Structure 1
Amino acid sequence: MAGVEQPGQPTTSAGWRDERGETALAQLDRHWVELLQELRVVQTGVQVLTGFLLTLPFQSRFEQAPTWQVVVYLVAVGLAVLATALFAAPVSVHRALFRRRARAELVAVGHRCAVAGLACLAGALVAVVLLVVAVLLGGGPGLVAGGVAVVVFAGLWGVLPFTLRRRALRTTRQPTP
C-alpha cells in the first residue's frame, strides 16, 4: 500500500528497519524507555541504602568504631552517593538534550551511567556487608562475607550478563536455515 511502511522495507524517516520492523528512531526510543525502567528498579534501592548509610554516624556506637571500619563506612557512603548520582544523571542529560534530536547520545550516555552506577552500587553493598558482619562477628568474618559478596556480584552482574551476551552474539551471527 502506498504511504504505509512495511517491515524490512526502507522508510523515508530513518532509512531502514530492523528485524522488529522498527526504524532507528523507534529503536532508540524503545532503548531509552527500557533504560528508564531499569534505572527505576535500582534507583529506589540505592537511595534507601544511601539514606541509611548517612544516618550511621549519628548513632552513639559509631564513635567506638575502629579506624578501618570508619574507612570502610566512608567508602560505602562514597560509592552509594556516586551510584545515586550516576543513576540520576540520565535525567539531567535528558533535560539538557531535550528537543535537540540527540536520542542516540542520550541512550549511550544513559547506558554508560547505568553500568557505572551498578559497579558503584555493587562496591557499596560489598562494603556494607563487610562492615555489618565485622561489627557483629569480627573483622575476619567480615572480610570473608565481603569476599563472598564480591564473588556474588561479579558473577551475577558481570560474568553472567557477559556470558549471555557472548552467547547471543554467536547465535545471531550464525546463518539461519
Structure 2
Amino acid sequence: MTPPVARTGRDESPEERADRMWGELIQEVRVAQTGVQILFGFLLTVVFTQRYPSLEDTDRAIYVVTVVLGACATGALIGPVSLHRVVAGRRVKPEAVRWASRLTFVGLVLLLATMASSLLLILRVATHGSWVPWLVAPVVVWYVLCWYVLPLWTRRRHTSE
C-alpha cells in the first residue's frame, strides 16, 4: 500500500507541484537577475572613469568589496538556470527546486549587500559626508523589512508549515 500524499490545497501531483514551483521561482529570479546584472555592469565600468584614480583608499576598498559582492550575487542568481540545465530530464526536479530556491535566497542576500555598499560608495563620493552611513542604514533596514521581515511574517501568520 502506498503512503498517503501530503495535500497542498491544490489537486496536483508532486511532479506537478515541482513544475509549478519551478516556473514561479524562475519568474522571481528573472526580476532579481535583471537588477543585479544592470548594477554589476555599471560597477564594472567605474574603474575606467577619470575620477576613479582620485578616490580615497577607503572608497576604493568599498568599490572592490561592492564588485565582489555583485559578482557573487550574479553567480547565485544565475545559478538556478545552470542547475536546471544540468539536471533537466534526470527526474530530480523537486530537489532542483529546493537547491534553486536556496541559491535565490543567497543571491538576494548578496544583492542586498551589493546595493547597500553601492549606495554607501556613491553617497560617500558625492557628498564626502561623515553622515552617509546614517543615511544608508535606514535604506538597508527598509530592504530587510520589504524583502525578509514582511514575507517571513506573512508566512508565519498565514501558514501552519
Q: TM-score, normalised by structure 2?
A: 0.92
Of 119, 132, 157, the match for 2:122: 132
One-letter code aligned to 1:138: H
Equivalence for 2:63: 73
Report the Cα distance in structure 2 between the residues aligned to 1:60 and 1:29, rounded to whole angstroms. 49
Decide whether aligned partners of structure 1 residues 63 and 163 sit closer, same or farther in structure 2, where only a CA change above 3 A counts.
Answer: same
Equivalence for 1:58: 48
Report the Cα distance in structure 1 between the residues aligned to 2:89 and 2:129, rounded to whole angstroms. 53
Bigger relative contact order (CA 8 A; separation at least 6): 2
Equivalence for 1:96: 86
Q: Give unpaired runs (5+ residues) of structure 1.
A: 1-11
- Figure out how many residues of one structure are paired with residues of the other and give that number: 159
Of 12, 31, 35, the match for 1:45: 35
Q: CA deviation at 1:80?
A: 0.9
Report the Cα distance in structure 1 between the residues aligned to 2:26 and 2:61, rounded to whole angstroms. 33
Q: CA deviation at 1:162?
A: 0.9
Deviation above 4 Å: which 4+ runs of structure 1?
14-17
Report the Cα distance in structure 2 between the residues aligned to 1:163 and 1:17, rounded to whole angstroms. 23
Equivalence for 2:110: 120
Equivalence for 2:149: 159
Report the Cα distance in structure 2 between the residues aligned to 1:71 and 1:122, rounded to whole angstroms. 18
One-letter code aligned to 1:126: A
Q: CA deviation at 1:142?
A: 2.1
Decide whether aligned partners of structure 1 residues 139 and 69 sit closer, same or farther in structure 2, where only a CA change above 3 A counts.
Answer: farther
Equivalence for 1:28: 18
Matched, 1:83 2:66: no
One-letter code aligned to 1:29: D
Equivalence for 1:9: none
Q: Give unpaired runs (5+ residues) of structure 2.
A: none
Task: Give the greater-gyration-radius structure (CA).
Answer: 1
Q: CA deviation at 1:96?
A: 1.6
CA root-mean-square deviation = 1.8
- In percent, how many aligned pairs have the same letter? 36
Q: Does the CA contact (< 8 Å) of 1:47 and 1:84 recur in 2? A: yes
Q: TM-score, normalised by structure 1?
A: 0.84
Report the Cα distance in structure 2 between the residues aligned to 1:15 and 1:162, rounded to whole angstroms. 26
Q: CA deviation at 1:155?
A: 1.1
Q: CA deviation at 1:49?
A: 0.4
